[in-house]
Amino acid sequence: MQTTTLGNTGTQVSKLALGCMLMGTATSEADSVEMLHRYVDGAGGSFLDTADCYAWWSRPESQGGESEELLGRWFAQTGRRDEIFLATKGTALPRDLPGLWSNPQEPDWAKARQQFAGASRAALTSALEASLRRLGTDYVDLYYVHVDDLATPLEETLETLAGFVTAGKVKHLGWSNVRTWRLESIRQLCDRYGWPAPVAVQQQHSYLRPRPGSESASIVGYDQLDYLQRHAQTLVAYSPILKGVYDVPEKRTTSHVMTEYAGPDTDARFAAVEKIAAEVGATPNQVVLAWLLRQDLVTLIGPRTLPQYDSAVPAVGPSLTDAQVAYLDAA
């Protein structure tokens, strides 16, 4: 397993991280445990990613936290907590979960986004303590603000996070679903008050590039890539294969993820990745993952099934020549 340095910390982390969002809900306990063993023992990985809200939307009676609880059971059974670089997140668990299920088949996402717990001192403190309890540990290696909270004073959030680090409950801090201007405000406040700054930023990032005019706060833009490099913040790229649109052409016209990507630039990139996939005898998804693993970032996969996991992990080792990478870059 390749590694990269986390921000400016000197800590080495796996370049391919395993997202545990669906573990304990859409992915059964047995398959989740098998996937963890394949990742840690088979692939040599050590970076596990979860959140306190995973996965409240799986069923009306869920309170969230199923993924953390499953990992906590796995740590207790295996004693492997100290072998793992463990990341979790707070702020995105809605406050009134029962009230989001007027339709028992699908929660009201618009309403949920209005009820996120947020990044106040009280909300963050409660969220972290609950996460540590579910995970069965007294610290996490990386703690993210999951969804940026513009309603809470940034100073309150940053001072609270600094307290977590001082108390030894969190080693490193991160942010997710955040705009570049907010990262700069965070950086300046941390410099001013001597608070620990984020060393990782988790955003949606793939081989496709967002269309001109995209206003998503969750997708990495060109300015943000440059900003993260200049300020030694590691990008953790989630949704790297965009729900499988590279392997399944039909999804390119039906999947909601394409809203922020559709256009001639995207068409050219689909053609390029399909050409390279044919050359190397891999799937387009695998080529995209291999291309990302050539970058100085962490690629986060979140398979639901063991076959999905097994199809992703070969991307750790396939050979893309420099010429092939240059071809993909230029498309």
- The per-residue pLDDT for range 246-303, each reduced to its tens digit, is 999 999 988 888 999 989 999 999 999 999 999 999 999 999 999 999 999 999 999 9
- Scored b (16 or more CB within 10 A) or e, 99-134 reads ebbeeeeebeeeebeeebbbbbeebbeebbebbbeb
Tell which residue, 66, 15, 7, has the closest CA to residue 290: 15
CATH architecture of 3-330: Alpha-Beta Barrel (3.20)
Helix, strand or coil, per DSSP, at residue 234? strand
Q: Residue 147: its pLDDT value, please?
A: 96
Q: Residue 312: its pLDDT value, please?
A: 87
- The per-residue pLDDT for range 141-188, each reduced to its tens digit, is 999 999 999 999 999 999 999 999 999 999 999 999 999 999 999 999
> Which of 39, 54, 227, 309 is flagged as catalytic?
54
* Confidence band, pLDDT 50/70/90 cuts, at residue 30: very high
Mean pLDDT of 79-91: 97
Q: How far is CA 38 from CA 35, 44, 76, 266, 279, in A?
A: 5, 8, 18, 33, 28
Q: Residue 292: its pLDDT value, please?
A: 95
Query: What DSSP string runs through 165-210?
Result: HHTTSEEEEEEES--HHHHHHHHHHHHHHTPPPP-EEEEE--SS-P
- The per-residue pLDDT for range 231-257, each reduced to its tens digit, is 999 999 999 999 999 999 999 988 888
Integer Rg of the chain from CA:
19
- The per-residue pLDDT for range 149-162, each reduced to its tens digit, is 999 999 999 999 99
Q: Residue 221: its pLDDT value, please?
A: 81
Q: Residue 206: its pLDDT value, please?
A: 96
Q: Report percent pLDDT > 90 for the chain.
A: 90
**Domain residue ranges of the chain, discontinuous segments joined by +:** 3-330
- φ, ψ of residue 48 to 5 degrees: the values are -110, 135
Q: Is the pLDDT of residue 82 over 90?
A: yes
Mean pLDDT of 48-54: 98
Q: Is 54 a catalytic residue?
A: yes
* Confidence band, pLDDT 50/70/90 cuts, at residue 313: confident
Spatial distance between the Cα atoms of 229 and 295, rounded to a whole number of angstroms: 11
Q: Is the pLDDT of residue 318 over 80?
A: no
